[in-house]
A and B are shown apart, each in its own frame.
Chain A
Amino acid sequence: MTQTLRLPAPLLAARNIVTFLLRQPTSAFGVIVLAALILTALFAPLIAPHDPYVQNLNNVLQPPGNGHPFGTDELGRDIFSRLVWGARITLTIIFLVTIVVGPIGMIVGTVSGYFGGKVDMVMMRVTDIFLSFPSLILSLAFVAALGPSLNNAIIAIGLTAWPPIARLARAETMTFRNADYIAAARLQGTSPLRIIVKSIMPMCLPSVVIRLTLNMATVILTAAGLGFLGLGAQPPLPEWGAMIATGRRYMIDSWWLVTFPGLSILCVSLAFNLLGDGLRDALDPKQMNRR
């Protein structure tokens, strides 16, 4: 245990978390699916058998098989290739939303929780305003105002996804704020900013990471939903939600148009949920001994 916690080994710790996750079937599923997603996105040009944008009107709505493992869509594009390239879009959305939402939620939450009083009051009321709308509706409103595009969808999702993180970070901060080691830091004359960055944020990090991971499923679904409504990624981008939206019209006769993108969304969001659950156990200090 001491070995795993040695300072120069954050990598060692990461490896331990991964082994812990792989030991349970559910979180192992999450890790494997996400690893597959990342690899697919990285090597999309090598994996995809066809160009995702090239149309072949002689070959529309072909059922799976015959050179097109998942069939072709209404414009004769290979669905498998589009799914593979779509992984890049999904990952981009997740990555951008995470780097926007994590820091914003963390800063708002820790500052609000550490200072309390009026600062807390103002920041939490703003958070409340965001929380009082269903996130999909609020994202819709933002995209409608900003204009439909993938980037605007990401911005809109980012703007609506930070409040729960802020709430969480605030609650965590309030449990540490009066701890003796924070008092000790104040006693050394450490500035509030430094206390927040050096002492409080690291303590909040595990629960924020877990929450972000669990949030990813919602983010993917929201992005897909926006794509489905035509407010996210625009054609011909192979975004999974948009693929379902266009495939909807041919659903009765050509089931493969909606089934495979739908399964992809299902798998990835399920994987994030299971990974989040697994991470909750893996990052729980009480479970450290089991690693």
Chain B
Amino acid sequence: MLDASPPRKKLVEVKNLKMYFPIHTGLLRRHTGDVKAVDDISFDIYEGETLGLVGESGCGKSTAGRALIRLYELTSGSVTIDGVDIATLSAEQLRLKRPTMQMVFQDPQASLNPRMTVSAIIGEPLDEHTTLTKAEKLARIYELMDAVGLNRNFANRYPHAFSGGQRQRIGIARALALNPKFIVCDEPIAALDVSIQAQVVNLLEDLQEKFGLTYLFISHDLSMVRHIADRVAVMYLGQIMELSARDALYADPLHPYAKALLSAVPEPDPAKAARARIILQGDVPSPANPPKGCNFCTRCPQVIPVCREVQPALTEVAPGRFVACHLVQPTALTAGPTGGTEAKEHNQQGATR
């Protein structure tokens, strides 16, 4: 599961993904601006890995996750999943492609239809995509319930009769029903008690091993991401600031924002607790009106004049480490210009190796 073998297949390739939500104002509802929830991000996810996506509230993590499986119509960019660019598929082609990608939602209460029984919820995707007989479908539902650790006897109960952790298991079973390859986990543990969080994360890990799943794990819980992810992307205001292998990122974050974010993780060992906390000043700018230049320039403790003018591109500065910052120059690699123009030319990680 760890990043061991060198040539791995890319399952998901995201290129220049933009997700803008238009703002209409005035009597004529004229289009006067955009909320740039996700502003030009690119990354790959390799088969069988878990990519963690972290960032503070409102930075666009969930939007990115949802746009990735086309729950929203993308503003621009492409998302290639398993060899097919799903951003441009027609409705019917997309429908046939749906089983490949699934999602586990944040709020297990809101993601289950309160008027459907557990077996109906888990069986819904089967109705849509398979022609199983009633008995076969029930067998499959039981199999899925076993896989996620739910008692078969509960199949005819309604979601409100379950605890948060059990509901999340129902959500996971539904996501697994069509044998997906790629699952977006949108803060699947944020709404759960700490003791249950561990159970659900362990379940996700077991299922990954068993079914060879690939995860995009969106979370603001940095410790949990450290536990489950192979690589981690740090987002700020709709853009990826740093994307590195987990251990490298947690040991030595390169981007000033990643440093500040990771310094905020609570340290359980009091002996080590006296570390320097980087406390950022000010608030996150509005995504409807991001600053010129680097999105982080308004709060960056190390800001230099060029940051306010030119937007840094996400560049590979060391093997497997991508950073979008003028201060972090490529070391080991002879990569392209770090800043340069405002061209949105992002190097693709993995392309050079």
Quick one: CB contact mask for A176-189 with B, threshold 8 Å, 1 for yes?
A: 00011101111111
With the chains together, A125 CA to B171 CA distance in Å? Answer: 39
B128 near A189 with CB under 8 A, answer yes
B112 near A189 with CB under 8 A, answer no
CB under 8 Å from chain B, chain A span 51-74: none
B98 near A2 with CB under 8 A, answer no
Cβ-neighbour of A188 out of B115, B129, B161, B171 (below 8 A): B129
A189 near B98 with CB under 8 A, answer yes
Cβ-neighbour of B105 out of A6, A180, A188 (below 8 A): A180
Cβ of B53 under 8 Å from chain A? no
With the chains together, A52 CA to B178 CA distance in Å? Answer: 66
Interface size class of B (residues with CB under 8 A): 20 to 34
Q: How many contacting A-B pairs (Cβ < 8 A)?
A: 57
Cβ of A19 under 8 Å from chain B? no
With the chains together, A154 CA to B352 CA distance in Å? Answer: 75
Minimum Cβ distance to chain A for residue B140 (Å): 14
CB under 8 Å from chain A, chain B span 83-123: 94-96, 98-99, 101-103, 105-107, 110-115, 117
Cβ of B34 under 8 Å from chain A? no
Minimum Cβ distance to chain A for residue B181 (Å): 14
B69 contact set on A, CB distance < 8 A: 187
Cβ-neighbour of A184 out of B94, B105, B129 (below 8 A): B105
Cβ of B277 under 8 Å from chain A? no
Cβ of B157 under 8 Å from chain A? yes
Q: Known interface pairs A180-B107, A180-B111. Does A188 touch B156 (Cβ–Cβ under 8 Å)?
A: no
Other contacts beyond A180-B106, A185-B124, A187-B102: 15, CB < 8 A: A7-B156, A179-B110, A180-B105, A181-B113, A183-B105, A183-B111, A184-B105, A184-B171, A185-B113, A187-B103, A188-B98, A188-B178, A189-B94, A189-B98, A202-B115
B58 contact set on A, CB distance < 8 A: none
Cβ of A203 under 8 Å from chain B? yes
With the chains together, A184 CA to B101 CA distance in Å? Answer: 11
Interface of A is mostly: helix
Cβ-neighbour of B71 out of A6, A183, A191 (below 8 A): A183
Cβ of B46 under 8 Å from chain A? no
A184 contact set on B, CB distance < 8 A: 103, 105, 111, 171, 174
Minimum Cβ distance to chain B for residue A171 (Å): 19
A183 near B66 with CB under 8 A, answer yes
Cβ of A246 under 8 Å from chain B? no
22 residue pairs from A and B, CB less than 8 Å apart: A5-B158, A7-B156, A179-B111, A180-B105, A180-B107, A181-B110, A181-B112, A183-B66, A183-B103, A184-B103, A184-B105, A184-B111, A187-B102, A187-B103, A188-B98, A188-B124, A188-B129, A188-B178, A189-B95, A189-B98, A190-B124, A190-B128
B98 contact set on A, CB distance < 8 A: 187-189
